Amino acid sequence: MSRAPLQEGQTIISLPESCLLTTETVMRSYLGPYIAKWRPRPSPLLALCTFLVSERHAGSRSPWKPYLDTLPKAYTCPVCLEPAVLGLLPKPLQAKTEEQKARVQELWASSRGFLSSLQPLFAEAVDSVFSRGALLWAWCTVNTRAVYWERPPSPCFAAEPDTCALAPYLDLLNHSPDVQVKAAFNEETRCYEIRAASSCRKYEEVFICYGPHDNHRLLLEYGFVSARNPHACVYVSKDILIKYLPPADKQMNKKISILKDHDLIENLTFGWDGPSWRLLTALKLLCLGAQEFLCWKKVLLGETISDLNEKISLDIAQQICLCFTEETNATLQKVSRMKDEDAAWSGQLTLVEALWTEELKILQVSAEVLARSRAAFP
């Protein structure tokens, strides 16, 4: 909460370099000598994760205990969800989650030798200190809470970008898509600073913006969903498009190839304004008749080819929107039943429910937009 009005350009928070937890912090600690001599060199991410787990294990003996006490005991990112709950997420988000899980698994598998070398530092077996669950907790801490601060390359680490810094207190500021801020490390003051790019009234909660992210990205990277997020959308895959197109179209492969060449095969969405330009353009190109196909470049320039092409494209967009709406309602009903049957998963299911509820609202708005557009082509 702000105790005074904040004006545009005013500093919200200025965190000294000494308060930031970086790979330099790790190298100055008891872990430094072990990292320096280990081959192959550990990644900067592994160094931060190792430090977090080790300091949390130290408990009251850790000078970082006040910060560690502010961190979540568990995270709600999709990589942490129960498999049955994960299966309820939209397919594109499930695919991205599997990619994340593979990266976490790779970090876990590649870290075993290095973590074993730390046994002299612990009375307990390192396997019990650095369990898979502990490493996942540390990975989520860095992934959800770190700020971007590029560090110079170090000979002690693998040749990967070293860009993560944990920022105690600063990372308690919540996200709002409706505010604007400027965040960066100030080389002159040697502080990480966040400045308001919009005003904030006295006694209001002070928000920052994590970026113009849709709800899939917010859930994947930060573990929450933002209501009425202006960047929220519903994704339409290539496979869905093809499902609603005539199977006998001999030019379909050429059309798909054109869309790929012009980067129009992904990020096709429904949003708060209805179907995106990218989605409608892809549909118009895919719906070109045999006699219209040579006009495909005009479609990419936004020109109308024929009333029939416009009508067919809108019809298919409506069909997809309707199908998505029915599937979303069915998923919400399933989530509701699961919440009643298993209270242990209630928190995770509520998060999934929030995501689908926002997508349903977007689809309902899109249906109205499409109905108005379709009325122009009787």
Q: What is the pLDDT of residues 249-292, one digit of tens each?
A: 889 999 999 999 999 999 999 999 999 999 999 999 999 999 99
What's the pLDDT at 344? 86
- The number of residues in the chain equals 378
The answer to whether 291 and 251 have CB atoms below 8 angstroms apart is no
Separation of alpha carbons 103 and 26, rounded Å = 22
pLDDT tens, residue by residue, 310-333: 999 999 999 999 999 999 999 999
Mean pLDDT across the stretch 187-201? Answer: 93
- Whether the predicted pLDDT of 155 surpasses 90: yes
Mean pLDDT across the stretch 74-100? Answer: 96
Look at strands 207-208 and 174-175 and give their pairing: parallel
What's the pLDDT at 308? 94
Average per-residue pLDDT for the chain = 95
Q: What is the DSSP letter of 248?
A: T
- Whether the predicted pLDDT of 248 surpasses 90: no
Separation of alpha carbons 321 and 274, rounded Å = 10
pLDDT tens, residue by residue, 277-287: 999 999 999 99
pLDDT tens, residue by residue, 216-227: 999 999 999 999
- Whether the predicted pLDDT of 106 surpasses 90: yes
The answer to whether 8 and 208 have CB atoms below 8 angstroms apart is no
More reliable by pLDDT, 124 or 246 = 124
Exposed, middle or buried, 37 (CB in 10 Å: 0-12/13-18/19+)? exposed
Q: What is the DSSP letter of 176?
A: -
Q: What is the pTM of this model?
A: 0.94
Separation of alpha carbons 374 and 378, rounded Å = 7
What's the pLDDT at 198? 85
What's the pLDDT at 343? 84
- Number of CB atoms found within 10 A of residue 41's CB: 19
- Whether the predicted pLDDT of 378 surpasses 90: no
Q: In this structure, which long-range contacts are made by residues 132-135, counting pairs with CB atoms below 8 Å and at least 24 apart in sequence?
A: 132/108, 134/53, 134/56, 135/49, 135/53, 135/104, 135/107, 135/108, 135/111
